[in-house]
């Protein structure tokens, strides 16, 4: 499919998004009080990943930077603003495929079914270090008298702000299957 570019809604003249899920900045001049104006060449932005695994990019306008989900930029530019009560759904390509053909709007329940299909939803299976498997972290937490957040933190190897790495929950090392 030929790559088509459209302005990012709200960032017209600064950024564009393509039907292939790429985001680029445009050539521009940044006005500076010290050392004069600076010419910036446009480039394709390298996306990062949110905690949920969705791709994000940081866009800057009037000196303010804001992070945006790439899938929302694509659908807003190529389909329409998201209708009330709906959200962006990813097709069988999963959450890393932000091409227009893999995106559509749908209900929350449809999106949850998509996440279940892709193994990215809240019912992602987990396994204790002793080999016992559970359908979800919620199920494992109930069965072991733990908080779901403790299991998911271990599965993600989350390091909280205090810097103490959480390596076990309930005496077990947990992992996503």
Residue 21 belongs to domain with CATH number: 3.90.75.20
CA distance 96 to 109: 20
Partner residues linked to 64 by β-bridges: 61
Reported as type and span, the H/E element at residue 60 is strand 55-61
Residues 73 and 152 in one domain: no
Do 113 and 62 share a structural domain? yes
Give me 2's structure tokens: 């030929």
3 state DSSP class of 78: helix
Q: Do 153 and 83 share a domain, yes or no?
A: no
pLDDT of residue 122: 60
92 and 149 fall within a common domain: no
Question: Chain-centre distance of CA 39, in angstroms?
Answer: 31
Same domain, 71 and 130: no
DSSP H helical ranges for 36-169 = 70-78, 108-118, 137-144, 148-156
Do 133 and 55 lie in one domain? The reply is no
CA–CA separation, 155 and 35 (whole Å): 49
Residue 44 DSSP code = B
pTM of the predicted model, to two decimals?
0.69
* Per-residue model confidence (pLDDT) at position 85: 95
Question: Which pLDDT score is estimated for 160?
Answer: 60
What pLDDT is attached to residue 121?
65
pLDDT in single tens digits along all 177 residues of the chain = 799 999 999 999 999 999 999 999 999 888 888 888 889 899 999 999 887 788 999 999 988 999 999 999 999 999 999 999 999 999 988 889 999 999 999 999 998 888 777 766 666 788 888 889 888 888 888 999 988 888 888 887 756 666 766 677 777 777 777
Q: Which domain holds residue 136?
A: 126-176
How many domains is the chain built from? 2
The pair of structure tokens assigned to 78 is 């190529």
Residues 20, 101, single domain; the answer is yes
Say whether both 21 and 103 belong to one domain: yes
Task: Give the pLDDT confidence score for residue 166 in this predicted structure.
Answer: 65
Q: Which of 118, 140, 160 is the last residue of a domain?
A: 118
Domain limit, last residue, from 118, 140, 155: 118
């Amino acid at each position: 499919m030929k790559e088509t570019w459209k302005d990012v809604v709200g960032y017209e003249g600064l950024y564009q998004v393509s039907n292939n899920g790429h985001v680029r900045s445009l050539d521009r001049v940044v006005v500076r009080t010290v050392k004069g104006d600076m010419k910036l060449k446009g480039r394709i932005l390298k996306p990062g990943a949110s905690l949920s695994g969705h791709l994000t990019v940081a866009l800057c306008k009037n000196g303010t930077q804001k992070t945006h989900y790439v899938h929302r930029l694509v659908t807003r530019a190529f389909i329409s603003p998201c209708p009330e009560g709906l959200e962006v759904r990813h097709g069988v390509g999963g959450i890393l495929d932000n091409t227009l053909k893999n995106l559509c709007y749908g209900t929350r329940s449809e999106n949850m079914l998509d996440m279940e299909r892709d193994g990215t939803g809240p019912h992602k299976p987990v396994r204790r270090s002793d080999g016992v498997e559970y359908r979800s972290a919620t199920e494992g937490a109930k069965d072991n008298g733990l908080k779901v957040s403790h299991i998911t933190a271990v599965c993600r190897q989350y390091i909280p702000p205090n810097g103490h790495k959480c390596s076990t929950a309930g005496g077990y090392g947990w992992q996503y299957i």
